[in-house]
Structure 1
């Protein structure tokens, strides 16, 4: 029992991944760190709720409503909701109060509820309305591009856009990749070496901080329910 996730890639420049799930017999999970914003809708009984979840700087334990359906739209790095200040969203979220059985009002725009198969259409409408915006500098820097500005300026820009430095983003993405490989059966020592960790204690500290569990717990399945984890 737990949350069984279906998830898929997206070809959109604004959407990295779309997922859906249903909770069954689990009341809490580990929410692993992420530098991304996520739009999420969930149904408890007959009532739908919709929120945006901001970046999470460390793993936390999150409650899970029982017998609840979820749909999540994970935005690409640097894609945000322009009207919401990043300081309000880091390690937090914002729920949209005006939700019916068929629609949600997001920052002044009424839209259909998020669905797994047409998530990109919803985001496309938010982009056209100017609600969702993408900062290409973030993705470019993380791919290795060096802009003609100081490192301090880049760090300040990242802090303004996604609430954390480029170094922290890379640490989170590396920890997620390590956790996914370990859960898939890759030898722990090889994972640490291949992903550039100094030694096993370095890998262990990273997993504890960003994933919330040890490599052994991830390997043996005793880590319990995790939020969506996949190869980055």
Structure 2
């Protein structure tokens, strides 16, 4: 029984992380909240499947197919598909059609399934076809650079490209950072101070909502299989 996970960074501007995972004897996991959307490929019951998994506004329990290998391409904040309104993806997913072991159908064209080492090729093709676009307003805002727009306009840009408000993105990313620090053994008091929580109860409420665990439950061991808590970089799509 196990949960083997590997991930890597990418220099592609629209990719946050590429990951792969193998499960064995795991029936359920905690799906941690995330502001990012992910392209996921796996094989189940002899068939290859692919889906666009949307941002998740809170932690939830999720079933895991038995003895399965997954590949995921996690997209940078601000990257979005022109063919799918992002608000429809929040806390949901869109299965992709006509998936074979080599390709899938998206925006009227067959696309090769990505691999762990060449996911950038698919993203480059989708970008060239204008199926995948990036919002520079989201990028500048997350980088702390003035976007030259009113808060209401910035909010509209975030909702269009992430399906979430800037405040929701910030709360989710902060909770994920807190969980990563706690799993690394950082004292709770230091996490509260470093990430700007009011106090320990404030941190506890955030972790319950977005991570599905308590601070003590995250230290010093992981509380069972969780969707992937590598340290968030919040690198926006350019």
TM-score interval, normalised by the smaller of the two chains: over 0.9
| 1:1-232 equivalences in 2 (<5 Å) | 1-221=1-221, 223-232=223-232
- Matched residues, number: 232
Distance 1:183 1:41 in 2: 28
The one-character-per-residue Cα deviations of 1:123-175 (angstroms, maximum 9, x if unpaired) are 11111111111111112101112222221221122112211111111111111
Distance 1:127 1:192 in 2: 39
- The CA deviation at 1:87 is 2.3
Distance 1:105 1:153 in 2: 34
Which contiguous aligned blocks of 4+ residues in structure 1 show a shift greater than 4 angstroms? Answer: none
The one-character-per-residue Cα deviations of 1:82-133 (angstroms, maximum 9, x if unpaired) are 1101221111010012111211112212122121010111111111111111
RMSD: 1.2
- The CA deviation at 1:45 is 4.5
What secondary structure, in the 3-state scheme, does the structure 1 residue paired with 2:219 have?
Answer: helix
The one-character-per-residue Cα deviations of 1:22-41 (angstroms, maximum 9, x if unpaired) are 11111111111111110010
Distance 2:91 2:50 in 1: 17
The one-character-per-residue Cα deviations of 1:46-85 (angstroms, maximum 9, x if unpaired) are 3210110111111111110001110000000011111101
What secondary structure, in the 3-state scheme, does the structure 1 residue paired with 2:111 have?
Answer: strand
- The CA deviation at 1:220 is 4.0
> Structure 1: any 5+ residue segments left out of the alignment?
none
TM-score normalised over the length of structure 2 = 0.94
Q: Which moved more, 1:154-163 or 1:181-190?
A: 154-163
> Structure 2: any 5+ residue segments left out of the alignment?
233-238
Contact residue 32 and residue 212 of structure 1 kept, 8 A: yes
Distance 1:117 1:222 in 2: 28
What secondary structure, in the 3-state scheme, does the structure 2 residue paired with 1:80 have?
Answer: strand
